[in-house]
Amino acid sequence: MSDIIKNIKGKVAIIAGASRGVGKGVALGLAEHGATIYIVGRTEKDDDLPQFLKGATIYQTMNEVNELGGIGIACKCDLNKDEEIEQLFETVMQEQGRLDILVNSAWPADKHIMGGYFFNTPFWEQPVSLLDDFIRIGIRSNYVTSRLAAQIMTKQKRGLIVNISYFAGRRYWVNIANGVSKAAIDKLSADTAHELKKYGVAVISLYPDKVKTEGMMAFENKDAIFDLADSESPQFVGRCVAALANDKNIMNQTGKVLITAEVAQHYGFTDIDGRQPKSQREELW
């Protein structure tokens, strides 16, 4: 790993949606550098999870964070409930007295994918509940967590908020509800960055490429969408967040959409397998 990511130890992070997928990867990427990480999600037990997600709980993520050298703290929190989110932030401040990093990575489409209509089904044949879930978790919860983080970070005069987004916010990709959500997340990032800039708080929309999450790997090769030959590990996304959090000039990036592969090239680090992923800007922007 590059020396650019060396000062994360002691930083406190909240990762929303960290029981699995990209959120878990972000937690692991920060753990490599000793961060204290609040692992936020609803899944405490895997009893009701499909077989390919067995073990994907906030406690499993916590254990892996601790094994990598971070300090993992599992926090059950329903991001549909404002009072639970507020309690989460109160707990972090009571226990740590600071908040350096917020990453919004919760993704509400698992049950819709398992329903068999998320991909290759026109929007008029999909349930409206799909859009409702993206609005509640993909947009509203990001707004609520950003609001609470801003109340802390503006007083500290420092902080980083990263909203995990995707190219679907800029061009059509597979599912309309997903694309609408990503476009809204990008706008949320840009506008909150505008208001927070004078307080030294940076906000970024971060675009991974295809990521080897548990769900993507379960469906690999069933459709061209799931060809993971040139994909990224979830932990690679976490390394990107760690690099951004360590950048003393991060305010030069605030309000922007950044692509994980380009972040890695800029800061000089690789994925966990030693690969340097290629940016998909030309293909997907």
Q: What is the mean pLDDT of the chain?
A: 90
With 70 as the cut, is the pLDDT of residue 63 above it?
A: yes
Reported as a pLDDT band with limits 50, 70 and 90, residue 2 is very low
Within 8 A by CB and 6+ apart from 192, the residues are 146, 150, 161, 203
β-sheet with 159-164: strand ranges across: 71-76, 36-41, 12-16, 101-104, 159-164, 201-207, 257-259
146-202 pLDDT, tens per residue? 999 999 999 999 999 999 999 999 999 889 999 999 999 999 999 999 999 999 999
Other CB atoms within 10 A of residue 170 CB: 16
245-255 pLDDT, tens per residue? 999 999 999 99
Reported as a pLDDT band with limits 50, 70 and 90, residue 115 is confident
- The pLDDT of residue 119: 86
Reported as a pLDDT band with limits 50, 70 and 90, residue 23 is very high
With 50 as the cut, is the pLDDT of residue 1 above it?
A: no
CATH class assigned to 12-207+233-284: alpha beta
